[in-house]
Amino acid sequence: MNQLTFIKKTGQEIASVFDDLAQLRIEVFKAFPYLYEGSVAYEKDYLKVYAASKNAFLFAVYDDKKMVGATTCIPLIDETDEVKKPFLKANIDINTVFYFGESILLSKYRGLGLGHRFFDERENYAHGFKQCKMTCFCSVVRPENHPMRPENYQPLDEFWIKRGYQKNAQLKSQFEWLDIGESIATEKDMIYWTKNIR
């Protein structure tokens, strides 16, 4: 492991690392619970929303020239309709919410405090927007008896709770992607975790 370096990008600048970010997302999200069979083309289409928002933010970690970790956030109002929908349905003002996208890290770099750093960077960035009162992210819901659930799997719920987030059963979306071993994409239930920052 070389000395790690860190970068920050906002808005259109994020597009300059789309290739790195796409590859990292595909690699990390292949594991349970996402089981994502990704493609660079799909990823680049998905990531366009960040480059289109002048207030989107990316913080990434590099080991030499390889991106080994990354995290993003974006004002909820700039997100896709499927992300905004549950908040609108719950009568939450989407102008006051920042949505946290991926928080991904290759396994050999875990345990170094980078997960906390990712949340610190995003929360500090969101706090700079006076209208922002809440931060949120979503996680996939998989059944306890899922056949691909590893025996030693530890969900991140405890970590998120320690960061001050609460699971909100009222806020749910369905996102579609191709699972490993599937021939067609299927909808997955996603549940949101929220934290009031003001």
pLDDT of residue 42: 87
Q: Which residue has the tokens 């990531």?
A: 47
Residues 166 and 18: their CA atoms lie apart, in Å, by 30
pLDDT of residue 39: 87
Cβ-based burial of 46 (10 A; exposed 0-12, middle 13-18, buried ≥19)? middle
pLDDT of residue 41: 86
Residues 42 and 34: their CA atoms lie apart, in Å, by 15
pLDDT of residue 44: 87
- Could you tell me if residue 195 is left (phi over 0), alpha (psi between -120 and 50 degrees) or otherwise beta? beta
CATH number for the domain whose boundaries are 4-142+155-196: 3.40.630.30
For each successive 10 residues of the chain (198 residues), what is the average pLDDT? 92 96 96 93 91 98 97 98 97 98 96 96 97 98 93 94 96 94 93 96
CB-based contact 50:17 (threshold 8 Å): no
Angle among Cα 71, 72, 74 to the nearest 5 degrees reads 165
pLDDT of residue 2: 73
CB-based contact 98:75 (threshold 8 Å): yes
- Please give the model's pTM, rounded to 2 decimal places: 0.95
